[in-house]
Structure 1
Amino acid sequence: MWGQMQGKTKMEIAAAALSGAVGNLSETQKIGFVAYGHRKEGDCKDVEFMVDAATGTKKEVIEAVKGIKPLGKTPLAYSAAMVIDQLRAAKQKATIILITDGIESCDGNICEIVEEAKDEGIDFKLHIIGFGLKAEDTQQLRCAAEAGDGSYFSAENAENLGEILNVATASTVDKPANNFSVYAVKNGLPMDVYVKAYDIVGKREPILLRTYQDTGYFYLPPSTYNFEVAPLEGSDVDRITVRDIESLENVKGHQTITFDAGTLDVLVTNNGQGWDSMVKVIDPNGEVVATTRTYGVKKEVEVNPGLYKVAIQALKMEGLQTNTEIDSIAIEAAKTLPLVYDFKTGEFEIFTQIGGENIDCVVTIVEEQTGKNVAGSRTYLRGTKFLLNPGNYSVTSKPLGVHKDKAIQSFTIAIEQGETIRKTLTF
């Protein structure tokens, strides 16, 4: 627990999160606190009942948590056995929440301890929170949580730990044992999602679950449900609904939710060079499901598999071909589709002068065939420059300021891809 995370020790983070969760409990809640490995180094029996569950208060637990200094071993199995022994002797039931940032270090097997206690008929629910543990180190802990009719939670940071503790303290031994599990995955990786289970037969209030990038467990009364599943991570993948999921009496159910997204790899160019553009991905209903700005480089957007239209708007260029829409872009699950679109421009630069000196003018450019005004700017005293799509244009220049009475001048230009036209107008 001395390991650092977010600029604090894990012990500091755990103490703050635990104090917050305990503070949320009712004043009448019976609560105890047990610590291990905090008094002696190398002692596999260093387990202390710091607050008696029969008489303990929230304030006593919070004070006890503040005084913990991690020193020694991680005797998970022995700690669990000691707590279970108390329940056996008192003939009481309880919800046990075990928080650990390490695996068993005293040759015990907490899963076996829990399984034997359950076989004996001792009534408890065991939740285990692995704080910053690697997935490959959690097998025994997951086994123990499942055997204890509880859940294993993986906490990765301070906020995560606080949320999980609130969930764990709300799922008590008085509530039915978990009978359904949900695992959400996208392209082979676990997702953190919210699940709302809607009973389409009994019409009860939706039952909620969060997976925390892991398998989530909850109790679903026997019925038929629709699951509304919303991703909580940075992704353009939409929430999905999985329908007609059955929860059966005395049967443990499971549902894997797949968000196998596809990726569109977009590169927008101008005359073959990377170009800054806005890109929108539009679904068949006309809704924009993803947007990105390219800034002249390749950009990826992630969307659900399906058929889309892609709208691209090139920035900092003028003409009739600065926007395009590409239909029937098929995005497949777990695949990347490259999309390259090249705009074309030429350059037009104009200077306006009297007696060899630059003057300020308004310049207006109209596409000749359609008569559409496509660009305009002032020359000030330095001239001005336009990037224009290839085509024929009418250019009008009107002097400003002290020269505003000078006659307007007009002319035509033909813009070709990659070419530069420079024009000096003399008034």
Structure 2
Amino acid sequence: MAICDTVLGKGKSMRALTVIAAVVLGIMPPVGQAGESCTEDAMIVFDGSGSMAEMGFNKIGVPRISEARQALHDVLPRIASIRRLGLVIYGPGGDRTCRNTELRFGPQWDAAPRITAEVDALLPVGGTPLTEGVRLAAETLEYRSEPGAIVLITDGDETCGGEPCQLAAELAADGADLTVHVIGFKVRSSHFSWEDKAESTVVSVARCLADRTGGQYLSAETVEDLVDALQVTLGCQIYGQMSVRPRKLQ
């Protein structure tokens, strides 16, 4: 324990011992050496709101959710073999406006098929309660006592009255070691026009969740950008070093 506390810090040592024990006992998918596994669980918070059904500037091409599905199918099989992943979705269900945040499942090994199946089955609809989605993911990770990571994938701002920056302060103050990463996927200004198309990519209000918890805010405009962002934020030190990082807004 003393060695683990020195190398990983007291907050992470128990999680590391759990991972190593799982490898030894054969209850975790083999991934090579134990050092190639992430020691912290992660939750994906996925935006399934109505705006994810929208297409590009010229209203041709494919909906945003189709591109997001493609990115998840690409990257998750690699990530899920080294990290326990869970899923929160907001959008479908409920009253089709804001009471639509759902924990699909908590962190588990080899979660890629289950995550992609859940996202593939989504019919984007409803508002964007991203604050409640992140809060639910944090509670699932038992963030007050356990380290962990959340990756929020969203194409818009909070539309359901939540206050992401207030939540960010709470997570930073009360969390054992929780990091929230935010991927802004094709986030657009509500005042888009063809004249200011070049300036239409904006920063989501959710950026403060990343800033206050030591995470990253990454802007993604293409499937390739989104794949890179997922690798950087979900892949610990392993896959995060293997790709060119997408544009990080300063």
TM-score by length of 2: 0.64
The alignment status of 1:212 with 2:242, answered yes or no, reads no
Which residue does 1:48 correspond to in 2? 102
> Offset of 1:159 from its aligned partner?
1.9
In structure 2, stretches of 5+ residues that fail to align are 1-51, 189-199
- 2:165 aligns to what SS in structure 1? helix
User: Which of 92, 95, 100 is the aligned partner of 1:38?
Assistant: 92
Distance in structure 2 (CA, Å) of the matches to 1:36 and 1:164: 20
Amino acid corresponding to residue 136 of structure 2 in structure 1:
M
Q: Is the contact between residue 100 and residue 130 of structure 1 (CA under 8 Å) also seen in structure 2?
A: yes
Q: Is the contact between residue 77 and residue 109 of structure 1 (CA under 8 Å) also seen in structure 2?
A: yes
- The 5-angstrom pairing of residues 63-78 of structure 1 reads 63-78=117-132
Amino acid corresponding to residue 132 of structure 2 in structure 1:
Y
Distance in structure 1 (CA, Å) of the matches to 2:99 and 2:181: 22
> Offset of 1:98 from its aligned partner?
0.5
Task: Label 1:59 to 1:136 Cα distance change in 2 as closer, same or farther (>3 A).
Answer: closer
Q: Is the contact between residue 21 and residue 169 of structure 1 (CA under 8 Å) also seen in structure 2?
A: no
Which residue does 1:60 correspond to in 2? 114
User: Which of 150, 155, 158 is the aligned partner of 1:96?
Assistant: 150
Higher strand share: 1
User: Which of 110, 124, 145 is the aligned partner of 2:210?
Assistant: 145
> Offset of 1:96 from its aligned partner?
0.7
Task: Label 1:52 to 1:87 Cα distance change in 2 as closer, same or farther (>3 A).
Answer: closer
In structure 1, stretches of 5+ residues that fail to align are 176-205, 216-427
Task: Label 1:208 to 1:79 Cα distance change in 2 as closer, same or farther (>3 A).
Answer: closer
Which residue does 1:154 correspond to in 2? 219
> Offset of 1:210 from its aligned partner?
3.3
User: Which of 169, 174, 178 is the aligned partner of 1:124?
Assistant: 178
Amino acid corresponding to residue 45 of structure 1 in structure 2:
R
Which residue does 2:55 correspond to in 1? 4
Task: Label 1:86 to 1:26 Cα distance change in 2 as closer, same or farther (>3 A).
Answer: closer
Task: Label 1:151 to 1:96 Cα distance change in 2 as closer, same or farther (>3 A).
Answer: same
Which residue does 2:232 correspond to in 1? 167
- The 5-angstrom pairing of residues 388-399 of structure 1 reads none
> Offset of 1:155 from its aligned partner?
0.8
Amino acid corresponding to residue 3 of structure 1 in structure 2:
E
Distance in structure 1 (CA, Å) of the matches to 2:163 and 2:102: 19
Which has the larger Rg?
1
- 1:107 aligns to what SS in structure 2? coil
The Cα RMSD (Å) is: 2.8
Which residue does 1:115 correspond to in 2? 169
Which residue does 1:295 correspond to in 2? none
Task: Label 1:60 to 1:26 Cα distance change in 2 as closer, same or farther (>3 A).
Answer: closer
Q: Is the contact between residue 87 and residue 122 of structure 1 (CA under 8 Å) also seen in structure 2?
A: no
Distance in structure 1 (CA, Å) of the matches to 2:248 and 2:210: 17
Which residue does 1:18 correspond to in 2? 72
TM-score by length of 1: 0.39
Distance in structure 2 (CA, Å) of the matches to 1:77 and 1:156: 22
- 1:11 aligns to what SS in structure 2? helix
Q: Is the contact between residue 151 and residue 183 of structure 2 (CA under 8 Å) also seen in structure 1?
A: yes
Distance in structure 2 (CA, Å) of the matches to 1:11 and 1:151: 22
> Offset of 1:104 from its aligned partner?
0.5
Amino acid corresponding to residue 97 of structure 1 in structure 2:
V
Higher helix share: 2
Distance in structure 1 (CA, Å) of the matches to 2:98 and 2:233: 27
User: Which of 117, 133, 146 is the aligned partner of 1:79?
Assistant: 133
Q: Is the contact between residue 40 and residue 71 of structure 1 (CA under 8 Å) also seen in structure 2?
A: no
Task: Label 1:100 to 1:21 Cα distance change in 2 as closer, same or farther (>3 A).
Answer: same
Distance in structure 2 (CA, Å) of the matches to 1:21 and 1:207: 12
Identity %: 26
Distance in structure 1 (CA, Å) of the matches to 2:145 and 2:105: 18
Deviations 1:138-188 (A, max 9, x none): 25222111112111111112222122212221247xx9xxxxxxxxxxxxx
- The 5-angstrom pairing of residues 26-425 of structure 1 reads 26-54=80-108, 57-88=111-142, 91-134=145-188, 137-138=202-203, 140-171=205-236, 210=245, 212=247, 214-215=249-250
